[in-house]
Chain A
Amino acid sequence: AQSVTQLDSQVPVFEEAPVELRCNYSSSVSVYLFWYVQYPNQGLQLLLKYLSGSTLVESINGFEAEFNKSQTSFHLRKPSVHISDTAEYFCAVTLTGFQKLVFGTGTRLLVSP
């Protein structure tokens, strides 16, 4: 069975600093990878996804993630964060051809002035 590891439970950064949220997955077969963001007391919003093609995927608000098959990673990066980026970020994986998402434990990004 596949699994997702987000080693950092909390990442504090200053505004305008770069940030990387780490995600590693475990699977013996091909997977699809996702990053979701959750603001307090809200549901999840899709940030970006990798299904196939270019290993570098970008979101409309400046985040990007790179699929690295050899390292089984899908780290999320942003070159300059804003206060409004403060939220919980979840990495998720699903096997190709299936629907069930397996989520990591989440990383809380805390952006301070």
Chain B
Amino acid sequence: GAVVSQHPSWVICKSGTSVKIECRSLDFQATTMFWYRQFPKQSLMLMATSNEGSKATYEQGVEKDKFLINHASLTLSTLTVTSAHPEDSSFYICSASRTRGVGEQFFGPGTRLTVL
């Protein structure tokens, strides 16, 4: 149990376009979802935390107008990279937690975004 999926697994887009990445908890209800960004051979950096039905909380330095996060249901969160540029190319990973308190985070397989 506790499976998290991401779609797409990889995407290539042109500079200036927007890309939407979906994160789904397949067999549990995720009250909280997290979005991370990982550059090659580096660690995960938390971008934002989203609770179902409320606005996402962004980490310092993350542009909320560029990285739109929606957590409309207990099983789905989306990250939209608006007006993508080559510097947005990265590996984006989501995770989900069953509870709002401290709980294990279950990670998705990640989405590789390449902006040309």
Q: Does A99 contact B (CB under 8 A)?
A: yes
Interface size of A as a range: 20 to 34
| CB of A100, distance to nearest CB on chain B (Å) | 6
Q: Which residues of A contact B46 (CB under 8 A)?
A: 100-102
B interface residues, tally (CB under 8 Å): 25
Assess the B107–A106 pair: CB atoms within 8 A. no
Secondary structure of the A side of the interface?
loop
Among the listed B6, B44, B49, which residue makes an inter-chain contact with A44, where contact means beta carbons less than 8 Å apart? B44
A99-B32, A99-B97 known; A42+B102 contact, CB < 8 A: no
Assess the B102–A43 pair: CB atoms within 8 A. no
A43-B109, A105-B42 known; A97+B102 contact, CB < 8 A: yes
Q: Which residues of B contact A36 (CB under 8 A)?
A: 107
Instruction: Give the complex CA separation of A106 and B91 in angstroms.
Output: 15
Interface readout for B1-43 with A: 1 if CB under 8 Å, 0 if not? 0001010000000000000000000000000101000000111
Interface readout for B100-114 with A: 1 if CB under 8 Å, 0 if not? 111111111110100
Instruction: Give the complex CA separation of A64 and B67 in angstroms.
Output: 38
Known A90-B43, A100-B46, A106-B42; 4 more pairs at CB < 8 Å: A32-B102, A45-B107, A99-B100, A106-B41
Which residues of A approach B to under 8 Å, CB–CB? Answer: 32, 36, 41-46, 49, 51, 90, 94, 96-106
Which residues of B approach A to under 8 Å, CB–CB? Answer: 4, 6, 32, 34, 41-44, 46, 49, 93, 95, 97, 100-110, 112
